[in-house]
Amino acid sequence: MDLANFSYKTENDALVIKLSGHIDGSNAKSIETAVFSALAESSAKQVTIDCEGLRYISSAGLRVLLRLRKTAGKINVINTSPEVYDIFEMTGFAEMMNVSKAMRVISVDGCRLIGSGANGRVYRIDPETIVKVYNDTETLDAIKRETALARRAFVLGIPTAIPYDVVRIKSGGYGSVFELLNAASFADLLSSGEKTVKEIAEMSVDLLKTIHGTVVEPGSIPDMKSVALGWATNLEGYLPEDQHKKLIELIAAIPDSDHMLHGDFHIKNIMFQDGESLLIDMDSLCAGHPVFEFAGMFNAYRAHPELDRPVSGSFLGISPLTSAELWNRILHLYLDGAGEETVKAVEEKAMIVGYTHLMRSCIRKGGLETEKGRAMVDSCRRHLAELLPKVDTLTF
Ligand SMILES: Nc1ncnc2c1ncn2[C@@H]1O[C@H](COP(=O)(O)OP(=O)(O)O)[C@@H](O)[C@H]1O
Ligand SMILES: [Mg+2]
């Protein structure tokens, strides 16, 4: 059937029905016929109603959706304009169906670039807000995930920028909008000499204790142990069999924990504003034992600067020597007066998990095809061969 306000297609196992213009008593009947014939023809498992071009829907139109829901089961309604979203909300349909708003479109032309990291570039869009524009490789799901995790941390009282919405960028791709922190990163404070390594270590440990002392609802954020088990499992065939087996046993034996971890805790992801330290970059937020946090920090402060010197030297903005000193001070402070031997033992546990992650991610990114990647994998393998026999638990 050829109708101006209706079209459909099948996309990833979903029947996507596009509605546009005005839908009211004058055309609801013919749209209903078209919708049900599309449904009868389709073998899709889900129905999505795309409202991008829809300006108005009356009760007659909503009744079509009700009948569709009875036949098709759960339906998703996407891309609603603010006006159409209000109609869904006022009628209670927003609770019955999974209704989501259209994304705002914003332009970053002429906006000041205020930072960049591995996943994207950050622009100031007005005096209160920034947008993080993601590299093409980030999927919309991953972007929404980061915003959702940031929101979860925010409501649990973790000091961080308010996450607003996910937007479309006019020149292409997606971004997420956050509160602008009028702040310098810990990396800036160190490289400008405003703070000493000792001060930054103390501030880092205060923040680490806040994060690690925060209890999350089980299952509400990713479980780091399962993630790490995934890395280790994927190293099968790349490590000698006995080492691989021991690595998996060690990770599996780490007790489950519902305490929060940041997952990418380093001086570029911590900002300092009005005397307060604030975390950003929340996409790796998870729950688990602190050994996993320390593994990530070991990689940022020690392994990358050593294995990847030219890149990470400029990445953190401090010399490998300074980042090694920072790491060492953080470990001592966190472990609160523990002796050298204990500190060394904790470092070795963090190294095992850290090199496991590094090796896995290097192989996954095709590292074995480049000379630099092979050198990195070899180095991880050597470290693991040396460390694994020394350790009988990864907890502390
Ligand atoms: N809310 C914010 N306010 C001010 N600056 C920010 C904010 N978020 C990020 N930045 C700046 O942008 C940089 C990159 O952001 P980040 O979220 O860490 O991206 P990536 O995931 O690519 O590492 C940060 O190091 C910081 O300098
Ligand atoms: Mg970052």
Q: If you measure from the C-alpha of residue 386 to the centroid of ligand 1, how many angstroms do you get, rounded to a whole number?
A: 36
pLDDT tens figures, 71-117: 998 899 999 999 999 999 999 999 999 999 999 999 999 999 998 88
Cα gap 266→330, rounded to integer Å: 11
Query: For all residues of the chain together, what is the average pLDDT?
Result: 93
Paired residues of 17 in beta bridges: 8, 49
Enter the pTM of the model: 0.83
Per cent of the chain over pLDDT 90 is: 84
Query: Which pLDDT belongs to residue 335?
Result: 97
Q: Is the CB of 264 under 6 A from ligand 1?
A: no
State the pLDDT confidence band at 254, using cuts at 50, 70 and 90. Answer: very high
Please report, for residues 7, 38, 46, 74, the alpha-carbon distance to residue 71 in angstroms, rounded to integers and kept in the order given.
19, 13, 11, 9
- DSSP tag of 111: P
Cα gap 283→272, rounded to integer Å: 20
Q: Is the CB of 189 under 6 A from ligand 1?
A: no
Residue nearest to atom 10 of ligand 1 (CA): 115
Q: If you measure from the C-alpha of residue 73 to the centroid of ligand 2, how many angstroms do you get, rounded to a whole number?
A: 41
pLDDT tens figures, 217-249: 988 999 999 999 999 999 999 999 999 999 999
Cα gap 359→289, rounded to integer Å: 21
Q: If you measure from the C-alpha of residue 162 to the centroid of ligand 2, how many angstroms do you get, rounded to a whole number?
A: 16
Most confident of 146-150, 282-286, 381-385: 381-385
Q: Is the CB of 289 under 6 A from ligand 1?
A: no
